[in-house]
Amino acid sequence: MACLSPLQLQKFQDDGFLVLEGFLSLDECAALQQRIATLMAEMEVPKHCRTVFTTQKEEQLRAQGASDYFLSSGDKIHFFFEKDVFNEKGEFLVPPEKSINKIGHALHAQDPVFKSVTHSPKVQDLARSLGLQKPVVVQSMYIFKQPGIGGEVLPHQDATFLYTEPLGRVVGLWIALEDATPENGCLWFIPGSHTCGVARRFIRSPDGTSFLGSEPERDDCLFVPTPVRRGGLVLIHGEVVHKSTQNLSDRSRHAYTVHLMEAEGTVWSPENWLQPTAKLPFPRLYT
C-alpha cells in the first residue's frame, strides 16, 4: 500500500511537494534501469532528430519548440541529449549512453516494463489517497542527469507546460532510481509556491511555439534541497516552483517521472505542446 497519511497529505497541500522514501524496491529500480539500458542499446536517432534538451528560454524555443521530433514525442519514445555532445555534423563527441539527457514522453504507454510500474497498485493507491477520481497519465520521462555534464534545470512550474483549467489538476511523481543529492543535482523547491498561480506558459499554435509571460527572478535562499534515496518518490504539485542544479559530481542521478491529471471536470489546454492523439489518448490510471 502507498496511501498517504492525513499528516502527509496535509504537508503536501501546504508545501506543494512531499518525499516518500522507499516507494520502489531496489529490485524495481534495477529493472527500470536495465530496461532503459536495452532501449539505449537499440537507440537509432537520425542526425536531423538529435534534439538537445535545455531549459534556457531562447535555447528551449529553438531546440524543442521548433523541433518536430520533440513536438511529436507525446505518443512515442524519443531521445533527447545534453548540450555540446554533437559536432557540427551531428556526430557524437562522447559515447551516446553518456550524452543523453532524457527519454520521453510515452514510456508509460509504449514500453511494457514502464507501463507496469506506472499502472502498478502502489501508484494507483497513491493517486487514490490524493483524492484523484479519474486520473489519466499525460506524460512520462526517464531523466539521466549525467555525471559532469548533466545540465541545470532552471526554476519552473510544471503547469507552464501542462496547463489546465482549473489549475491544481496535475501532479508529478518523480522516482529516484539512484540516490539524488545536492552534489549530483537533486530537486530544490520553494515551499508553498504552488499557491501563487502560473507565471508563464509554453504555448503551441499553428504559427509555432512561444512563451506567454516570464519567469520572475527568485531569491536562491527561498529554495530548499530535497535529497532522496534510491527508490524514493517526490510528489510534485503542478504549480510548485522547483529546479535542479548542474551535476558536477562523478555520479549520475537517474529518475523516472510521470505526470498525472485529474480528468474529472478538467479542461486540458488546447495550447499545450502535448496533446492526446487518436493513437494515444491519455490513458486512465484506473477505472
Digit-coded pLDDT (tens) for 204-240:
999 889 999 999 999 999 999 999 999 999 999 999 9
* Average pLDDT for 105-123: 98
Are the beta carbons of 256 and 137 closer than 8 angstroms?
Answer: no
What is the CATH number that goes with domain 6-48+103-268? Answer: 2.60.120.620
**Grid-cell match 524495481, residue found:** 28
Digit-coded pLDDT (tens) for 12-67:
999 999 999 999 999 999 999 999 999 999 988 777 677 665 655 455 444 444 47
**DSSP symbols for 210-267:** EEEE-PPP--GGG-EEE-B-TT-EEEEETT--EEE--B-SSS---EEEEEEEE-TT-E
Identify the weakest region by mean pLDDT among 60-64, 83-87, 115-119, 126-130.
Answer: 60-64
pLDDT of residue 65: 42
H-type alpha helices, 42-153: 57-60, 68-71, 96-99, 107-110, 112-118, 121-129
pLDDT of residue 131: 96
- pLDDT over threshold 80, residue 260: yes
Does the model's pTM come out above 0.85?
yes
pLDDT of residue 56: 56
Asked if residue 166 has a cis previous peptide bond (ω within 30° of 0), the answer is yes
* Residues in Cβ contact with 152 at an 8 Å cutoff, skipping those fewer than 6 apart: 55, 243, 244, 245, 246
Task: Measure the CA–CA gap between 284 and 286, rounded to whole angstroms.
Answer: 5
